[in-house]
Structure 1
Amino acid sequence: MPESTSSVLLPPGGQRVLVVQAHPDDAEHLCGGTIALLAREGKEVHYLLVTRGDKGSDDLHLPPEQLARIREQEQREAASVLGVQSVIFLEGYSDGEVEPCLQLRREIALVIRQLRPDVVFTFDPWRKDEVHPDHRAVGICTVDAIACARGLWYYPEQLHDGITPHAVRQIYYFATDRPNHWVDIGTVVEQKAAALRCHASQTSRKDILQWIREKGIVAGAEHKFKIAEAFHHHAL
């Protein structure tokens, strides 16, 4: 049964949230309002990024290495606007070249064990017609990492210095075509817009606030929310 409550997290809820994304600005575009609301509620929100978005420009005078540095800084600024407590970047993954592999699964599992989130937000890897390979790869590796992070004999070399297996309680998939939970972001649209403006290398839109409202109206229309973000929620 679809959930159209105004609450951010469904039962059993949770205090610590991890958002796993492929590129800087993914979270701000896809769940920035929800992140702002979680931070307002006093939740502990952390970002994990697989790449630094080094292919996100066609400017011949802006090489990938320089763009990666710019986008990392933009992401940290945007996260601060939303109230995110930490931003972690993995090493060695290039924009557009992320594959669903054991190494990535292992690295995400380690971060889950280190941060011990109750809730994980990530891409829906089963979304029909998802064309970006990084989105698909990050989504599926995150799901696989959640399964592995709770098991004693998965990557036992990680289990030292206080690191132990950890079981995530809930997953919220963004960029989904099978939503079953909607969050009313009407009170934080300006905060979401401010976060997106931090990604200056990626957008020159002057009407970004109006764009957020238009997207939010579409997402929330079916469930009578004026402005919303939509997710597929799965309790574990």
Structure 2
Amino acid sequence: MTSLPSSADLAADHGWATVLAFGAHPDDLDFGAAATIAGLTRAGVAVTYVVMTDGGAGGFDAEHHDTITERRHQEQRDAAAHLGVRDVEFLGERDGYLEPSHDVVGRVVEAMRRHRPDAVFSMHPERDWSRLQRSHPDHLAAGEAVVRASYPAVENPFAYPELLTSGLDAFHLRWLVLYCHPAERTNLAVDVTGFEHDKLAALRFHSSQHPDVPKMEAFVLDGMARAHQQWSTSGEAGDVVPVASGGDGGRRYAETFQLVRVNDSTTISGF
């Protein structure tokens, strides 16, 4: 059995003191990475959320849909506060219409240069054909915009020169952590046992998005249990069974990502 790293292990091993985390909609980060984020903040990492759309196309209540954007912003702030996230920023792009345009990429670069994080969490730019719901067009656009910003724009002082003029210097991002990704891209599984309840609590704050909370919670827990089972053993994921003590009812939990090394001491090219 393979021992999976915890969030604290990741932060210590990779030197993460600050993390900037992007999602297309309110609740995306909490579905994709909330347990890992909770572990990072508990380990002393400063985390900021950036939500790229206004969330205005979400929810199920037609009668009060004119207030959905304000409601979803508050839901995201409450969920982030529960996880220990330092702040939530909203780019305000129209929900359902997000594109990786130069304007959007420039706004992502601005946020990156302002925060200068050690790692950036983002949705994945590739479609997951095994579960198409992961691949909402806004998810793909958010992932593409963040990846384009991560290289080369954030490290090129001649890209978006107005940012340089305003005092936001270029810098070299070290790590990208991509979630909502095709399973075959997974190269990192994080043991989040003990933080699964923080993830569920964060998701409950997004009450406008959950017509069946028990079904959502069971789906999330089973997925994390399957991920831990698959990535801590050499076999394929099968029925969810206890593989070690800990967690809820003896189960252990993991969240999975594609970890991308953008720059390190071996990098020989610039922008």
Fold shared by both chains (TM-score > 0.5): yes
Query: 1:101 and 1:152 mapped to 2: Cα distance?
Result: 19
Conserved 8 A contact 2:6-2:39: no
Q: CA RMSD in A?
A: 1.8
1:53 pairs with 2:55: yes
- Counterpart for residue 189 of structure 1: 196
Query: 1:193 and 1:12 mapped to 2: Cα distance?
Result: 27
Conserved 8 A contact 1:193-1:208: no
Within 5 Å, give how 1:111-130 maps onto structure 2: 111-129=111-129, 130=132
Within 5 Å, give how 1:86-97 maps onto structure 2: 86-91=87-92, 93-97=93-97
Say which SS state the counterpart of residue 138 (structure 1) adopts: helix
Match of 2:175, as an amino acid? Q
- Counterpart for residue 220 of structure 2: 212
Query: 1:6 and 1:57 mapped to 2: Cα distance?
Result: 35
- Counterpart for residue 265 of structure 2: none
Match of 1:140, as an amino acid? E
TM-aligned CA distance change 1:118 to 1:200, over 3 Å: same
- Counterpart for residue 72 of structure 2: 71
Query: 2:208 and 2:202 mapped to 1: Cα distance?
Result: 13
**Cα distance, 1:42 vs. partner?**
0.2
- Counterpart for residue 171 of structure 1: 176
Match of 2:98, as an amino acid? V
**Cα distance, 1:209 vs. partner?**
4.4
TM-aligned CA distance change 1:164 to 1:23, over 3 Å: same
**Whose Rg is larger?**
2
Match of 1:111, as an amino acid? A
1:234 pairs with 2:260: yes
**Cα distance, 1:210 vs. partner?**
3.5
Say which SS state the counterpart of residue 178 (structure 2) adopts: strand
Match of 1:121, as an amino acid? F
Give 5+ residue unaligned stretches, structure 1: none
Query: 1:211 and 1:185 mapped to 2: Cα distance?
Result: 16
- Counterpart for residue 137 of structure 1: 141
Query: 1:45 and 1:21 mapped to 2: Cα distance?
Result: 13
Q: How many residues align?
A: 232
Query: 1:26 and 1:45 mapped to 2: Cα distance?
Result: 15
Conserved 8 A contact 1:150-1:167: yes
- Counterpart for residue 29 of structure 2: 27
Give 5+ residue unaligned stretches, structure 2: 233-242, 244-251, 263-271
Deviations 1:42-100 (A, max 9, x none): 0000001111211112432123x410000000000000000000100013x11111112
Say which SS state the counterpart of residue 50 (structure 1) adopts: strand
**Cα distance, 1:182 vs. partner?**
0.4
Query: 1:128 and 1:194 mapped to 2: Cα distance?
Result: 26
Say which SS state the counterpart of residue 121 (structure 2) adopts: strand
Query: 1:208 and 1:13 mapped to 2: Cα distance?
Result: 34
Deviates more, 1:184-193 or 1:127-136: 127-136
Match of 1:165, as an amino acid? A
Query: 1:214 and 1:25 mapped to 2: Cα distance?
Result: 19
1:150 pairs with 2:155: yes
Query: 1:161 and 1:98 mapped to 2: Cα distance?
Result: 26
Task: Give % identity.
Answer: 34
- Counterpart for residue 13 of structure 1: 15
TM-score normalised by the chain length of structure 2: 0.81
TM-score normalised by the chain length of structure 1: 0.92
Say which SS state the counterpart of residue 214 (structure 2) adopts: coil
